[in-house]
Structure 1
């Protein structure tokens, strides 16, 4: 509760939390409210209609309501982003802890592997993996998760290296504490704040990566509704129906903005090195 109060003391944190909670509420409750076939129902007589009382955000090239499609797209985009970040944590957390705690030759081998992955831009690496595995939702999660793993592993390795040199860790090691207990009881709890902050910021980049992969045809596939897929489908109608791209584009922008603002404030709260 104390942490949440600190988050709300900052206007940036308040705005970020509101934006994130709004998108999260839409992603969770929209499928329960919207009829299953309403967002995919095509009406060629209403295609490319501008925003109006009948269609609050207009319609797309197939006459589908943009308002309902962008709400369902929130579920798909967040599902991919959250799953990909969780995957990167599952892969990067033990990799970073083992490398930072044990050091030596094992650290050199693991970090050279991480450096090899870091040599490729994250989006390019995700694009390559998705192209090899094939474009669908599970493969998109795997591609983004693997692409973000080296960034998380590098940060966790640095934190584990710092904590492993603390006096209380040296004292526990001198007392005969096993490596497993040392990692579980001393290393892991002290690197979790940095891990949580990095995961929050990675969510924003994962949403952008999903939108980019879907736009290139290597992410979510029809008939699923995702923001990147909606932008990709609207590229031929920008001159006559710009709202078909602006609506999902603004959805991506607001979600990324909220996550970045929330992550910045969360870092200031959880990282004691940034406190005044």
Structure 2
């Protein structure tokens, strides 16, 4: 059973690495998969799938396969960029909410709670209406919309970690708030932040394509899954291929993002010694007893904080 479990994890890891590398190539150089420009008008408009056009052509004769391949770039760029921005901002706000004085923490987290109560799509629509359509606007909108979730998770984890003995001992020996956050708290937040980020990518893909579907993302004739889906939505009964393949691409990308989140969580849970060694770089004492720190531990922490 153990061998089978290890073999399954190895196979899953190899498949996920291959899929993620394929998405990386789509993001950086989609021309490796599609050799036809997505903007070239062909001589056979509305051609069904088959022959030289694997996914058929649209109203202007443009190859749909090429548009699906090149349409991955704006979607992935907006989703990954938005989640990265939200992760960085959320970690910073969560650390402030967890380490700042009570009054400051109360104000910061009440603002976070108000933003959490609003739908993500509503926040994104308000920001894009102000900033204008485009991939950069979507990245900023997704970053702002998903920041409260990261901030709340980090703030709750910081409050939990503040009561641990080695953090209290570090503060007792003069460690400042920023030093304590960077050296003792951040390394222990990596698990929650990485897992949440990997899971948030799928939702970000759905939000980004929804915004493009509404005409707030990449503008036609440039390829984008959401805008192409909207362009073919009115012809589903007569030309189903115009939007079907873009919808399949969106669905598969969300599924891959969700599976990637589960895979990252499994790797973290099963990487005992390596993960413990990584966290130890930030000052974590995995062998500390849960009682008050003894003389040896206090001496060690004191010597570390004075260096």
Do residues 20 (structure 1) and 20 (structure 2) align?
A: yes
Which one of 45, 49, 52 corresponds to residue 50 of structure 2? 52
Distance 1:7 1:234, change over 3 A: farther
> Residues 74 and 226 of structure 1 are in contact (CA less than 8 Å); yes or no, is this contact kept in structure 2?
yes
Whether 2:234 is the aligned partner of 1:227: answer: no
Tell me which residue corresponds to 1:41. 40
Which consecutive unaligned segments of at least 5 residues does structure 1 have?
Answer: none
Which residue does 2:68 correspond to in 1?
A: 70
1:127-148 Cα shifts (integer Å, max 9, x gaps):
1211222112211111111111
Q: Which has the higher contact order (CA 8 A, sep 6+)?
A: 1
The alignment partner of 2:21 has SS state of helix
The CA deviation at 1:221 is 1.4
Equivalent position SS for 1:56: coil
Classify the secondary structure of the residue corresponding to 1:240: coil
Structure 1 match to 2:274: none
Question: What is the DSSP-based 3-state SS (H/G/I as helix, E as strand, rest coil) of the residue aligned with 1:70?
Answer: helix
Indicate the residue corresponding to 1:181 in structure 2. 179
Cα RMSD (Å): 2.3
Aligned equivalent of 1:143: 141
Partner deviation per Cα, 1:83-108 (whole Å, 9 max, x = no partner): 11111122211101111123512221
Residue matched to 1:134 = 132
Q: Which runs of 5+ in 2 are unaligned?
A: 271-307
Take 1:271 and 1:134, find their aligned partners in 2: how far apart are those partners?
42
Aligned to 1:216: 214
Q: TM-score scaled to structure 2, two decimals?
A: 0.80
Q: Return the alpha-carbon distance in structure 2 between the equivalents of residues 41 and 186 of structure 1.
A: 55
Deviations 1:254-275 (A, max 9, x none): 1110110110232243258xxx
Distance, in Å, in 2 between the alignment partners of 1:183 and 1:7 is 38
**Structure 1 residue 51, shift from structure 2 partner:** 0.9
Q: Which whole-Å CA distance do the structure 2 matches of 1:32 and 1:79 have between them?
A: 18
1:1-276 to structure 2, matched below 5 A, reads: 9=9, 16-31=16-31, 34=34, 38-43=37-42, 45-102=43-100, 104-270=102-268
Measure, in 2, the Cα distance between the counterparts of 1:103 and 1:244.
56
Is this contact kept in 1: 2:33–2:69, CA < 8 A? no
